[in-house]
Amino acid sequence: MRRFEVYGWTDCGKVRAANEDHILVDRSIANSGGLAFEFADDDRLYAPLLFAVADGIGGAAAGAVASRLCLSTFDAQYHGAGGTDMPIEEALQEAGAHANRALLDASSQHPEWRGMGCTLAGVCLAGNGYSVFHAGDSRVYRIRNGFAKQLTVDDTVTQRAVEAGLLDVEEAEHADVRHTITNSVGSPSFSLHVTPGPEWRDGDALLICSDGLHDLIDADTLEKAATEGTAETRARRLVDAALQAGGHDNVSVIMVAQILSSANSLNMRERNSL
Protein backbone atom coordinates (compact mmCIF):
# COMPACT_ATOMS: atom_id res chain seq x y z
CA MET A 1 0.00 0.00 0.00
CA ARG A 2 1.34 3.42 -0.98
CA ARG A 3 0.01 6.61 0.56
CA PHE A 4 0.26 9.93 -1.25
CA GLU A 5 -0.49 13.56 -0.74
CA VAL A 6 -0.70 16.15 -3.49
CA TYR A 7 -0.67 19.93 -3.35
CA GLY A 8 -0.93 22.41 -6.21
CA TRP A 9 -0.54 26.17 -6.21
CA THR A 10 -0.51 28.81 -8.94
CA ASP A 11 0.57 32.40 -8.28
CA CYS A 12 0.31 35.49 -10.47
CA GLY A 13 3.88 36.50 -9.64
CA LYS A 14 5.22 39.99 -8.99
CA VAL A 15 5.03 41.50 -12.48
CA ARG A 16 2.07 40.13 -14.45
CA ALA A 17 -1.33 41.74 -13.90
CA ALA A 18 -3.21 38.48 -14.50
CA ASN A 19 -2.59 34.78 -14.06
CA GLU A 20 -2.78 32.82 -17.31
CA ASP A 21 -1.92 29.50 -15.63
CA HIS A 22 -4.33 26.88 -14.29
CA ILE A 23 -3.72 23.65 -12.43
CA LEU A 24 -5.64 20.39 -12.35
CA VAL A 25 -5.56 18.38 -9.12
CA ASP A 26 -7.56 15.22 -9.76
CA ARG A 27 -10.97 16.51 -11.01
CA SER A 28 -10.56 20.05 -9.66
CA ILE A 29 -9.27 23.14 -11.49
CA ALA A 30 -8.34 25.81 -8.96
CA ASN A 31 -5.65 28.24 -7.84
CA SER A 32 -4.64 25.92 -5.04
CA GLY A 33 -5.74 22.61 -3.62
CA GLY A 34 -4.74 19.35 -2.09
CA LEU A 35 -5.64 15.70 -2.11
CA ALA A 36 -4.68 12.67 -0.04
CA PHE A 37 -5.20 9.08 -1.16
CA GLU A 38 -3.71 5.62 -1.10
CA PHE A 39 -3.14 2.93 -3.70
CA ALA A 40 -2.47 -0.77 -3.39
CA ASP A 41 0.23 -1.87 -5.83
CA ASP A 42 -2.38 -3.81 -7.81
CA ASP A 43 -5.24 -1.36 -7.29
CA ARG A 44 -7.68 -1.58 -10.22
CA LEU A 45 -10.75 -0.23 -8.42
CA TYR A 46 -10.38 3.40 -9.46
CA ALA A 47 -9.39 5.22 -12.60
CA PRO A 48 -5.89 6.72 -12.43
CA LEU A 49 -5.68 10.29 -11.15
CA LEU A 50 -4.69 13.24 -13.32
CA PHE A 51 -2.48 16.12 -12.20
CA ALA A 52 -1.51 18.82 -14.69
CA VAL A 53 -0.31 22.39 -15.21
CA ALA A 54 -1.33 24.53 -18.20
CA ASP A 55 0.42 27.83 -18.99
CA GLY A 56 -1.62 30.14 -21.20
CA ILE A 57 -0.43 31.80 -24.41
CA GLY A 58 -2.05 34.72 -26.18
CA GLY A 59 -2.37 37.56 -23.70
CA ALA A 60 -3.97 37.75 -20.27
CA ALA A 61 -7.58 37.07 -21.21
CA ALA A 62 -6.99 34.59 -24.02
CA GLY A 63 -4.20 32.78 -22.19
CA ALA A 64 -6.31 32.25 -19.09
CA VAL A 65 -9.22 31.00 -21.21
CA ALA A 66 -6.91 28.65 -23.10
CA SER A 67 -5.33 27.06 -20.04
CA ARG A 68 -8.67 26.51 -18.28
CA LEU A 69 -10.40 25.20 -21.40
CA CYS A 70 -7.48 22.88 -22.09
CA LEU A 71 -7.56 21.31 -18.62
CA SER A 72 -11.36 21.05 -18.41
CA THR A 73 -11.60 19.41 -21.85
CA PHE A 74 -8.62 17.14 -21.22
CA ASP A 75 -10.05 15.99 -17.89
CA ALA A 76 -13.59 15.48 -19.20
CA GLN A 77 -12.43 13.52 -22.24
CA TYR A 78 -10.08 11.30 -20.25
CA HIS A 79 -12.60 10.40 -17.57
CA GLY A 80 -15.67 10.38 -19.79
CA ALA A 81 -14.49 8.56 -22.87
CA GLY A 82 -11.93 5.97 -22.14
CA GLY A 83 -9.78 6.46 -19.08
CA THR A 84 -10.73 2.92 -18.06
CA ASP A 85 -11.64 1.53 -21.49
CA MET A 86 -8.30 1.83 -23.27
CA PRO A 87 -4.60 1.86 -22.43
CA ILE A 88 -3.62 4.92 -20.41
CA GLU A 89 -1.24 6.27 -23.04
CA GLU A 90 -3.92 6.02 -25.73
CA ALA A 91 -6.53 7.66 -23.49
CA LEU A 92 -4.15 10.55 -22.77
CA GLN A 93 -3.51 11.04 -26.49
CA GLU A 94 -7.25 11.14 -27.13
CA ALA A 95 -7.72 13.66 -24.32
CA GLY A 96 -4.93 15.82 -25.74
CA ALA A 97 -6.44 15.76 -29.22
CA HIS A 98 -9.84 16.85 -27.87
CA ALA A 99 -8.28 19.66 -25.83
CA ASN A 100 -6.42 20.88 -28.90
CA ARG A 101 -9.56 20.84 -30.99
CA ALA A 102 -11.50 22.71 -28.29
CA LEU A 103 -8.93 25.53 -28.31
CA LEU A 104 -8.83 25.73 -32.10
CA ASP A 105 -12.62 25.88 -32.26
CA ALA A 106 -12.86 28.54 -29.54
CA SER A 107 -10.18 30.62 -31.22
CA SER A 108 -11.97 30.50 -34.58
CA GLN A 109 -15.30 31.48 -33.01
CA HIS A 110 -13.95 34.37 -30.95
CA PRO A 111 -11.70 36.83 -32.82
CA GLU A 112 -10.46 38.30 -29.54
CA TRP A 113 -9.02 34.88 -28.64
CA ARG A 114 -7.36 34.25 -32.00
CA GLY A 115 -3.93 32.69 -31.55
CA MET A 116 -4.56 31.53 -28.00
CA GLY A 117 -2.97 28.33 -26.75
CA CYS A 118 -1.17 26.86 -23.78
CA THR A 119 1.58 24.54 -22.71
CA LEU A 120 0.58 21.39 -20.85
CA ALA A 121 2.45 19.04 -18.52
CA GLY A 122 1.23 16.42 -16.11
CA VAL A 123 1.15 12.91 -14.79
CA CYS A 124 -1.46 10.18 -14.74
CA LEU A 125 -0.92 8.23 -11.53
CA ALA A 126 -2.18 4.69 -10.97
CA GLY A 127 -1.56 2.09 -8.32
CA ASN A 128 1.02 0.31 -10.43
CA GLY A 129 2.88 3.26 -11.92
CA TYR A 130 2.43 6.52 -13.77
CA SER A 131 2.59 8.11 -17.20
CA VAL A 132 4.05 11.51 -18.06
CA PHE A 133 2.59 13.81 -20.71
CA HIS A 134 3.53 17.26 -21.98
CA ALA A 135 3.55 19.79 -24.81
CA GLY A 136 5.60 22.97 -24.69
CA ASP A 137 8.00 24.03 -21.94
CA SER A 138 6.08 23.17 -18.78
CA ARG A 139 7.90 20.30 -17.11
CA VAL A 140 7.68 17.18 -14.98
CA TYR A 141 10.52 16.23 -12.62
CA ARG A 142 11.08 13.17 -10.46
CA ILE A 143 12.57 13.92 -7.05
CA ARG A 144 14.61 11.04 -5.59
CA ASN A 145 17.13 11.11 -2.73
CA GLY A 146 17.47 14.87 -2.96
CA PHE A 147 18.07 14.95 -6.72
CA ALA A 148 15.73 16.12 -9.48
CA LYS A 149 15.54 14.33 -12.83
CA GLN A 150 13.69 16.10 -15.63
CA LEU A 151 11.26 13.64 -17.25
CA THR A 152 10.15 15.91 -20.09
CA VAL A 153 12.06 17.57 -22.93
CA ASP A 154 11.10 21.17 -23.71
CA ASP A 155 9.47 21.91 -27.05
CA THR A 156 11.48 25.08 -27.68
CA VAL A 157 13.74 26.59 -30.31
CA THR A 158 16.68 26.46 -27.90
CA GLN A 159 16.16 22.79 -27.14
CA ARG A 160 16.25 22.04 -30.86
CA ALA A 161 19.46 24.07 -31.10
CA VAL A 162 21.00 22.07 -28.24
CA GLU A 163 20.01 18.78 -29.87
CA ALA A 164 21.55 19.97 -33.15
CA GLY A 165 24.79 20.92 -31.41
CA LEU A 166 24.36 24.63 -32.13
CA LEU A 167 24.13 25.65 -28.47
CA ASP A 168 25.28 24.10 -25.23
CA VAL A 169 22.93 23.91 -22.24
CA GLU A 170 24.36 27.01 -20.54
CA GLU A 171 24.08 29.08 -23.72
CA ALA A 172 20.50 27.88 -24.19
CA GLU A 173 19.55 29.04 -20.69
CA HIS A 174 20.49 32.62 -21.62
CA ALA A 175 19.42 32.70 -25.27
CA ASP A 176 16.91 35.39 -26.29
CA VAL A 177 14.66 32.78 -27.92
CA ARG A 178 14.60 30.37 -24.95
CA HIS A 179 10.88 31.07 -24.45
CA THR A 180 9.94 30.45 -28.08
CA ILE A 181 8.00 27.19 -28.02
CA THR A 182 7.56 24.88 -30.98
CA ASN A 183 4.56 22.87 -29.76
CA SER A 184 1.48 23.88 -27.79
CA VAL A 185 -2.16 23.00 -27.27
CA GLY A 186 -4.22 25.10 -29.65
CA SER A 187 -1.88 24.63 -32.61
CA PRO A 188 -2.63 22.83 -35.90
CA SER A 189 0.68 20.98 -35.48
CA PHE A 190 0.05 20.04 -31.83
CA SER A 191 1.56 16.81 -30.56
CA LEU A 192 1.24 15.40 -27.03
CA HIS A 193 4.31 13.53 -25.78
CA VAL A 194 3.27 10.59 -23.59
CA THR A 195 5.80 8.29 -21.93
CA PRO A 196 5.68 5.71 -19.12
CA GLY A 197 7.23 7.09 -15.95
CA PRO A 198 10.33 5.45 -14.48
CA GLU A 199 9.78 2.82 -11.82
CA TRP A 200 8.39 4.34 -8.64
CA ARG A 201 10.53 3.80 -5.55
CA ASP A 202 9.50 4.44 -1.97
CA GLY A 203 10.20 8.08 -1.12
CA ASP A 204 9.96 9.35 -4.69
CA ALA A 205 8.05 12.54 -5.49
CA LEU A 206 6.93 14.22 -8.69
CA LEU A 207 6.99 17.93 -9.48
CA ILE A 208 4.90 19.43 -12.28
CA CYS A 209 5.61 23.09 -13.04
CA SER A 210 5.36 25.94 -15.50
CA ASP A 211 8.36 27.83 -16.82
CA GLY A 212 7.62 30.53 -14.27
CA LEU A 213 9.33 28.21 -11.81
CA HIS A 214 12.13 26.45 -13.68
CA ASP A 215 13.16 29.56 -15.59
CA LEU A 216 13.86 31.45 -12.36
CA ILE A 217 15.50 28.99 -9.99
CA ASP A 218 18.54 26.79 -10.51
CA ALA A 219 18.71 23.04 -10.04
CA ASP A 220 20.16 23.24 -6.53
CA THR A 221 17.40 25.54 -5.32
CA LEU A 222 14.75 23.37 -6.91
CA GLU A 223 16.11 20.19 -5.33
CA LYS A 224 16.39 21.71 -1.86
CA ALA A 225 12.87 23.12 -1.97
CA ALA A 226 11.27 19.98 -3.40
CA THR A 227 12.91 17.32 -1.26
CA GLU A 228 11.61 17.43 2.33
CA GLY A 229 8.31 18.14 4.06
CA THR A 230 4.68 17.75 3.13
CA ALA A 231 3.50 18.25 -0.42
CA GLU A 232 2.10 21.64 0.58
CA THR A 233 5.34 22.70 2.28
CA ARG A 234 7.38 21.76 -0.79
CA ALA A 235 5.01 23.48 -3.21
CA ARG A 236 4.98 26.69 -1.20
CA ARG A 237 8.77 26.69 -0.85
CA LEU A 238 9.13 26.34 -4.61
CA VAL A 239 6.72 29.18 -5.39
CA ASP A 240 8.35 31.39 -2.75
CA ALA A 241 11.77 30.70 -4.30
CA ALA A 242 10.52 31.81 -7.72
CA LEU A 243 8.97 34.96 -6.24
CA GLN A 244 12.16 35.79 -4.38
CA ALA A 245 14.07 35.37 -7.64
CA GLY A 246 11.95 38.08 -9.27
CA GLY A 247 8.62 36.44 -10.01
CA HIS A 248 8.47 37.95 -13.49
CA ASP A 249 6.02 35.30 -14.71
CA ASN A 250 3.04 33.37 -13.41
CA VAL A 251 4.34 30.39 -11.46
CA SER A 252 2.52 27.08 -11.01
CA VAL A 253 3.54 23.91 -9.23
CA ILE A 254 2.02 20.58 -8.25
CA MET A 255 3.85 18.29 -5.84
CA VAL A 256 2.95 14.59 -5.72
CA ALA A 257 4.65 13.11 -2.66
CA GLN A 258 4.59 9.68 -1.07
CA ILE A 259 3.96 9.52 2.66
CA LEU A 260 6.26 7.01 4.32
CA SER A 261 5.33 7.44 7.99
CA SER A 262 2.66 5.04 9.22
CA ALA A 263 1.61 7.75 11.68
CA ASN A 264 0.17 9.77 8.81
CA SER A 265 -2.82 7.46 8.29
CA LEU A 266 -5.12 8.56 5.48
CA ASN A 267 -8.48 7.31 4.35
CA MET A 268 -8.71 6.02 0.81
CA ARG A 269 -8.94 8.92 -1.64
CA GLU A 270 -9.87 11.40 1.10
CA ARG A 271 -10.05 15.00 -0.09
CA ASN A 272 -8.29 17.54 2.10
CA SER A 273 -8.54 21.31 2.22
CA LEU A 274 -4.78 21.75 2.56
- Which residues are CB-contacts of 153 (< 8 A; sequence separation ≥ 6)? 159, 193
Rounded CA gap, 184 and 116, in Å?
Answer: 10
- Phi-psi map region of 217: left, alpha, beta (phi>0 left; psi -120 to 50 alpha): beta
The amino acid sitting at 166 is L
pLDDT digits (tens, 9 = 90+) for 102-160: 999 999 999 999 989 999 999 999 888 899 999 999 999 999 999 999 999 999 877 67
pLDDT at residue number 240: 97
Residue 89 confidence class, pLDDT cut points 50, 70, 90: very high
pLDDT at residue number 267: 39
Number of continuous H segments (helices) and E segments (strands) in the chain: 7, 13
pLDDT at residue number 55: 96
Given a cut of 60, whether residue 91 has pLDDT beyond it is: yes
Q: Which secondary-structure segment (H or E) carries 249?
A: none
pTM: predicted TM-score of the whole model, two decimal places: 0.90
pLDDT digits (tens, 9 = 90+) for 8-67: 999 999 998 899 999 999 999 988 889 998 886 555 555 689 999 999 997 767 999 999
Rounded CA gap, 104 and 117, in Å?
Answer: 8
Q: Which secondary-structure segment (H or E) carries 90?
A: helix 88-109
* 184 neighbors 156 (Cβ within 8 angstroms): no
Residues facing 206 on adjacent strands: 142, 256
CATH number of 2-264: 3.60.40.10
* 101 neighbors 93 (Cβ within 8 angstroms): no
Tally of CA atoms within 13 A in the half-sphere of 139 that contains its CB: 19
DSSP string, 177-204: TTT-BS--BTSTT---EEEEPPPP-TT-
245 class by beta-carbon count within 10 Å (0-12 exposed, 13-18 middle, 19+ buried) = middle
Per-residue exposure over 181-195, b if at least 16 CB sit within 10 Å of its own CB, e if not: bbbbbbbeebebbbe
